[in-house]
A and B are shown apart, each in its own frame.
Chain A
């Protein structure tokens, strides 16, 4: 599994065109970083910004299982509950201190709330089985879990390493971050900008962009305006219609990439009599015109799906026959299930959270009405949405778009279909058993088989109305070479101006 760092290094610098002057880059963000302490956040945008200051032990490309060594050179399980990582040496924090195993141990302890007078950090919920870290020597560290967690490395990219003893009394880490990353912190003005400069001695190679500014622009229209006027060089989360408006602009390039978020309607199969019936759930799936939504509403910037996980996740069964748009069939299924006259179904949807989420839910509701289901939507603020789903106070259904925290379908299934977990309104012992099996399977084949079986069950039992996977649309200055990443992480280390 371990890859060599030496291989990545020449690759990134070799293509650099030396005589193009490198200018600063400004990136438009929708919200401020939630915290400058990487452990105290759980937001992709914040992670994105801090990723440029801090490094994880291991990185991922966001879509495949391929992992890249960063601060760790290599890793292996020395027993099912202990992951041993060998760290790179000669790495320095931006304050000059050398990076050692103690930093990793400190980071983990801070994350888990094991430092004196500390409580678990906000990001701790990502690592439910992680219990401790132990330094073996200066370049070796053991991560210890409470139960076997073979896929622990896949979620380690989320863990950004902070320097030893950097928190606690008199800590300045939250105001002046210090990391091993490609960029050094310069200043942060809340609701305005976060400014970084290139580090001269980054251990993975030369950093080309001299200065990066993350500018906070909350309003989606203003964000587009500031991009189209050249105030910012890089923007993401453009609406499909905005892509067209940038069409005539010769200075910009628009890139649409499938994201890991899969939009679906969660159905309360536990409490709603109608939704307890498989035929009803299938009928609902046949009632949706996915093509209409992806073509009309998303202008092609989305793909219809029949699964929870993105197509590029592995392992995934790509041979499943999709639910077609067939209102007649849907009606007859409803009739067979004894709901010929339909039933009431309120769909809760959070505002201003998912791209065109409310609009899509509205479209779904009207398509369900067409087969006789009395579907209405209930818009709530995202905060309300989070609160209501947390206390499991939902109407018959809600619209959600769940992104996996790593490129592993199991992470997703564990979070949304396993009986009794936070985001699941479904109860299926067979499925749970399959997930358990995959969870502790050290053997890749067993793991794949279990997941593919699970996917089949999810598909045929339809505890969701599957909808679509929408693209994330990036806008960037044509002269900027930057490769957008499917989980929306903006790591500018390898970006450069090419003309």
Chain B
């Protein structure tokens, strides 16, 4: 018998004046000890599902219909009181951000012991014993001293381990983990994934693992459900789904997972699914994926809504036209391959022995420790490293946005460290930056048009009309419609906004563009499109790019040269292929090994 069985689940949420059916007709089972990976783009209803399964949706504004059976208990229609007793004991929840989920003012020991004391009526002593066992289970030092620690004393990975320990504390039937590793570094993510596997197989707890990253899901899951616009579009064993995708959406997701070993990545356009999932209020009546599907129009799929069909044994898909196996060899749009820009030997930026120290005296902290690098004109330098390794610090030193530092930076043949205010102004024109969080790096109180035109306003003597013309040109170049000029940042999607950021950075025609995690917060398709765009612009305009990322696949796809940072030091530099195939430093080796990858069939 399956541990968890969900049948014809409908979830409707209400906000403002409208009711939105977020999830429609969702069914699946999980056996104990198995992991179900739930994958889909942002806004497809993954988190809503996770909350519904834990009975955590606010009763007053949500409506759940259908059946959720956890063990023997039917959750739908259960009284709030009973639901509370189920939560934590039968079904546990692990959220994305472990820092926000732990109370900063209470010791982790107390937080670990809470649920057992509530649900199992354990005494203080017993619950402490249990807490120590749980620490052991999640491979943390099981000492009383550790129990007395506060969340802020732990690293992100350790906190997520604590969250897992808390979830496991009452030996639940089901753990729902909503993107539990998204906020973590790859190396830590790999550890956590291993831990999940170990615990489920040992304890028999079933896990629903929600993620938007098919790579991650394919590493951990026994079964995979691909969710799109509130419904499952494909459902089957891991192998079936990743090797023989039947639904075009699954196919698109699979093809946009970059491949590390791909020697040609630098020169190939990255595949992506155009468009974005439909708004909950405007879902198509026919196949919900139809507007984005390259196979649409074959039949009436645009008008009729297909059922989930078992197309192969235990492999369901919501389509009448499954993709053929032979198509699985991922096609590349070779029309758009890029030409290498020539002046490769002419150095545009040279950083030598850069040291950045924050604080002073006993509190001094070396964020960048003796880093040297050189970038040739028209090429891309990829900088990779875990969070806190000093990538951004290095970038802002180069941009002269970070106060004083030690060492020399030469840009376009000039030492820019001792520039005057006038030199600094000139530098701003020549060197630009795009940040990770486009919502944060755009002033929400100004229109896109004003924001993009602002550098011209500051530097140029252009009239407002001239500015408008140039802004329109740039918008066009980054693939945006000029109508967007009158919109405010919050009225734009992440992808649009990141394009606007790029337009803003490029409007002064700089020679060096620094992209600090410029695509990290975008979903796969947007990420691919932006990377394609950057490389296109580089090819056309001869732009030099310093590309910072913590994601190896991304770096691999854009860089001519890669630098790996760890604890402020540059531990390794070289050609991408070199680094990937023959990493020298132990950290680089670990990094390369941790990258979640699809097992692909050859």
Question: Direct A–B touching in the complex (beta carbon < 8 Å)?
Answer: no
